[in-house]
C-alpha cells in the first residue's frame, strides 16, 4: 500500500526530471504576465454581461492589477495566504487573479452557484484569509449568503470584499479596497514551485476536493494548451470563454490571454443565443465547452441562421461526448474535436480540428506533449492495447496533491501516476477513447455495462435530445440500465421504442435500457456535467 512519504518522494523525483527536461522553468506566472503585457499591450479582454459588461486591454489590466496587488498587501495579505473569489466572469475577478499572482497569494476561484454550506466548507478547509464576491448577480443575493456563513468556524477569514455599493458589517466594498492602494508596489520573490491556485472540484460526486496547482504546473498547461487550441487554425484568433470562472477551464481561459495575448470574449452566464451572436460578431476563431454548451450553440445557430464557420475548431470535453454530437457539428460547419482532462490534470489528451472525423467523433485524441498515460487493471498492472481499464496519468501539468493530503493515498500509484477514476482504452494509433467512469459502470447480473456506450447508442435516436444513463437497483440482477432522457420538441418516446432502436443497432440485449425516465432537465454542475449521483439517489 502506498504511503504519503512515497507519494512525496515520487513527486520530488518527477519535479527534478521536469526541470532537467525544461518542462519546468524558474519563471512564475507574475513573470509571464509582465512579459505578456509588454508584448501584447493591445490584446483585449471583453466581458460580456447583461448587467456588468466591461472591456480592457492587457496593458490596462496589468497596470490595474499592480494597483490592486498593493491594496491587497495593504490589508495584510502576502505570499502563501489564500484569497477566495466567488465572482462570475467579470473584470474584477480577472484582476484579483492577476494581482494575487503578482503578490504570491494563492487564488481560490469558487463556482458561482455554491451556497453558504459549500462556501463555508471551502473557506474553512482552504484557510482563506479573504473572500471576494458581488453584492448581487442575476438571482443570487450574495450579501444574504454572506450572512449565512458560519463565521465562528472560519477563524482565518479576516476580510470580506463586496463588488457593489454595500458591504456587510466589518467588510469592504471594492472601491474601499482600491482606496488602500499605494503609489509603489514591488512584487515579492516567489518560487515557481509554490502553490498559486487552489480549485475545488465541481464534479459529479457529492464531496468537492481541493486541487493544488503551482506556477509551474499551470504554466505547463497554458503552454501546451496554446499548441492544442491553435492546432489547425489559419492564425491565432479571438477566443470565446464560456466556462464559469470557478471551473478550471474558466481559470485557464484567463491564463491563456495573460501569457499569449490572445484576445478573449468571456461570458458571465451561459446563454446559447448570445454565444452564437458573439461568435458571428467577433469572428471567434476558437472556443470550447461541454456537450451541453455545444448542443445549445448548434440549436441557437440553426434557429437564428447564425454563421459559425469562422470557428477554426471547437474543443468539447469535461463530460461524456456522444459521437453523434461531433457528427452533427461537422454538418453545421463546426470542426469539433474531443479533449480529456480534469481539475487535477487539465489536458491529458486532445484531438485536433484537422484530424479525420471518425477519430474526432469516437476518441478523445492522443496524449498531449510531455504527458504520459497507462491503462491498468484493478491491481495497477498494465493492460494490452485495445483493452479497457483505468486511465492513470502523469505530466508536468499534473497537480501537486489535494489540500487534504489524506486524499492522495487513494489517488496515486507508485511512480507518481494519478488514478483518474476513468475507464478507457488506447487504439493501435495511440488514440484514447474514454468509455466510462469506474463508478458509472453498471453491473447487471455480474456483467459490466458501460453507461457511456448505452448513452452513445440512445443519443442517435431521433427523439432524444439529451441522455444520461445510470444504474438502477434491482433485486434480481443487482442493477439494471436506467436512461434519463430529455426529448426533442414535439416528439414522444417509450420503452418499446428504445428497445426497437437498440435491437436495430445490433447491441447486446443486456445493454438495452430496462427503465426509461423522461425529464425536462438534468441536474448539472456549473460547467454542464450531469450530476449522476443525484439521478441515482432518486431511484428505488
DSSP letter for each residue of 62-118: HHHHHHHHHHHHHTT--TT-EEEE---S-HHHHHHHHHHHHHTPEEEE--TT--HHH
**Among 194, 189, 246, which residue's Cα sits nearest to residue 400?**
194
DSSP letter for 209, please: -
Q: What angle do CA 266, 143, 205 make, to 5 degrees?
A: 65
pLDDT above 80 for 477: no
pLDDT above 80 for 202: no
Residue 503: what pLDDT?
85
pLDDT tens profile 372-386? 999 999 889 999 999
Residue 229: what pLDDT?
46
User: Three cell numbers at 384?
Assistant: 494490452
Q: Please give the torsion angle defined by the CA atoms of residues 315, 535, 435 and 248, in that order, rounded to the nearest 10 degrees.
A: 40
User: What does pLDDT average to over the chain?
Assistant: 89
- The owner of cell 456535467 is 529
Kind of pairing between the strands at 106-109 and 82-85 = parallel
Alpha-carbon gap, residue 261 to 460, rounded angstroms = 40
- Look at the chain and count its residues: 540
pLDDT above 80 for 340: yes
pLDDT tens profile 275-284? 999 999 999 9
CB atoms within 10 A of CB 183: 6
CA 448 to chain centre: 28
- Low-confidence winner among 223-232, 346-355, 372-381, 513-522 (lowest mean pLDDT): 223-232
- Low-confidence winner among 10-24, 219-233, 421-435 (lowest mean pLDDT): 219-233
pLDDT tens profile 108-119? 999 877 788 788
Position with higher pLDDT, 234 vs 247? 247
HSE-CB of 101 using CA atoms within 13 angstroms: 29
What average pLDDT does the segment 364-369 reach?
Answer: 94
First-residue to last-residue Cα distance in the chain: 36
**In contact, 162 and 133? CB cutoff 8 Å:** yes
- The owner of cell 441562421 is 305
* The model's pTM: 0.83
What average pLDDT does the segment 522-527 reach?
Answer: 80
pLDDT category of residue 205 using cuts at 50, 70 and 90: very low
HSE-CB of 454 using CA atoms within 13 angstroms: 30
Amino acid at each position: 500500500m502506498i504511503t504519503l512519504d512515497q507519494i512525496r518522494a515520487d513527486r520530488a523525483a518527477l519535479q527534478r526530471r521536469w526541470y532537467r527536461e525544461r518542462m519546468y522553468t524558474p519563471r512564475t506566472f507574475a513573470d509571464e504576465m509582465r512579459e505578456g503585457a509588454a508584448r501584447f499591450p493591445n490584446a483585449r479582454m471583453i466581458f460580456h454581461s447583461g448587467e456588468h459588461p466591461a472591456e480592457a486591454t492587457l496593458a490596462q489590466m496589468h497596470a490595474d492589477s499592480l494597483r490592486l496587488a498593493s491594496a491587497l498587501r495593504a490589508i495584510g495579505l502576502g505570499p502563501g495566504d489564500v484569497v477566495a473569489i466567488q465572482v462570475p466572469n467579470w473584470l474584477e475577478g480577472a484582476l484579483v487573479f492577476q494581482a494575487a499572482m503578482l503578490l504570491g497569494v494563492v487564488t481560490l476561484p469558487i463556482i458561482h452557484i455554491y451556497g453558504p454550506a459549500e462556501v463555508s466548507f471551502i473557506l474553512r478547509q482552504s484557510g482563506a484569509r479573504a473572500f471576494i464576491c458581488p453584492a448581487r448577480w442575476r438571482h443570487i443575493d450574495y450579501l444574504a449568503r454572506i450572512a449565512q456563513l458560519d463565521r465562528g468556524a472560519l477563524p482565518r477569514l479576516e476580510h470580506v470584499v463586496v463588488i457593489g455599493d454595500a458591504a456587510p458589517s466589518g467588510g469592504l466594498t471594492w472601491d474601499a479596497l482600491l482606496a488602500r492602494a499605494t503609489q509603489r508596489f514591488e512584487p515579492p520573490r516567489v518560487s515557481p514551485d509554490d502553490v498559486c491556485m487552489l480549485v475545488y472540484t465541481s464534479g459529479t460526486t457529492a464531496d468537492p476536493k481541493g486541487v493544488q496547482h503551482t506556477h509551474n504546473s499551470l504554466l505547463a498547461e497554458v503552454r501546451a494548451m496554446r499548441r492544442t487550441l491553435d492546432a489547425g487554425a489559419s492564425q491565432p484568433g479571438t477566443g470565446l470563454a464560456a466556462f464559469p470562472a470557478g471551473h478550471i477551464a474558466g481559470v485557464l481561459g484567463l491564463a491563456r490571454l495573460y501569457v499569449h495575448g490572445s484576445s478573449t470574449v468571456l461570458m458571465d452566464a451561459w446563454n446559447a443565443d448570445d454565444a452564437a451572436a458573439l461568435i458571428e460578431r467577433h469572428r471567434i476563431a476558437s472556443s470550447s465547452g461541454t456537450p451541453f454548451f455545444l448542443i445549445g450553440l448548434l440549436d441557437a445557430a440553426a434557429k437564428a441562421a447564425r454563421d459559425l464557420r469562422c470557428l477554426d475548431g471547437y474543443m468539447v470535453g469535461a463530460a461524456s461526448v456522444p459521437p453523434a454530437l461531433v457528427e452533427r457539428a461537422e454538418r453545421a460547419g463546426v470542426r469539433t474535436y474531443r479533449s480529456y482532462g480534469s481539475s487535477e490534470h487539465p489536458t491529458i489528451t486532445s484531438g485536433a480540428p484537422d484530424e479525420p472525423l471518425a477519430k474526432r467523433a469516437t476518441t478523445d485524441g492522443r496524449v498531449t506533449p510531455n504527458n504520459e498515460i497507462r491503462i491498468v487493471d484493478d491491481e495497477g498492472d498494465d493492460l494490452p492495447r485495445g483493452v479497457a481499464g483505468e486511465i492513470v496519468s502523469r505530466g508536468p501539468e499534473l497537480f501537486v496533491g489535494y489540500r487534504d493530503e489524506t486524499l492522495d493515498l487513494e489517488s496515486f500509484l507508485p511512480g507518481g501516476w494519478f488514478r483518474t477514476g476513468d475507464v478507457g482504452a488506447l487504439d493501435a494509433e495511440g488514440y484514447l477513447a474514454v468509455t466510462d467512469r469506474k463508478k458509472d459502470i453498471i453491473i447487471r447480473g455480474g456483467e459490466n455495462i458501460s453507461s457511456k456506450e448505452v448513452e452513445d447508442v440512445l443519443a442517435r435516436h431521433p427523439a432524444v435530445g439529451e441522455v444520461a444513463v445510470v444504474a438502477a437497483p434491482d433485486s434480481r440482477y443487482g442493477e439494471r440500465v436506467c436512461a434519463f432522457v430529455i426529448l426533442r420538441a414535439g416528439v414522444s418516446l417509450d420503452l418499446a421504442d428504445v428497445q426497437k432502436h437498440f435491437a436495430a443497432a445490433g447491441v447486446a440485449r443486456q445493454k438495452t435500457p430496462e427503465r426509461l425516465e423522461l425529464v425536462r432537465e438534468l441536474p448539472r454542475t456549473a460547467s454542464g456535467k450531469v450530476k449522476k449521483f443525484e439521478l441515482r439517489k432518486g431511484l428505488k
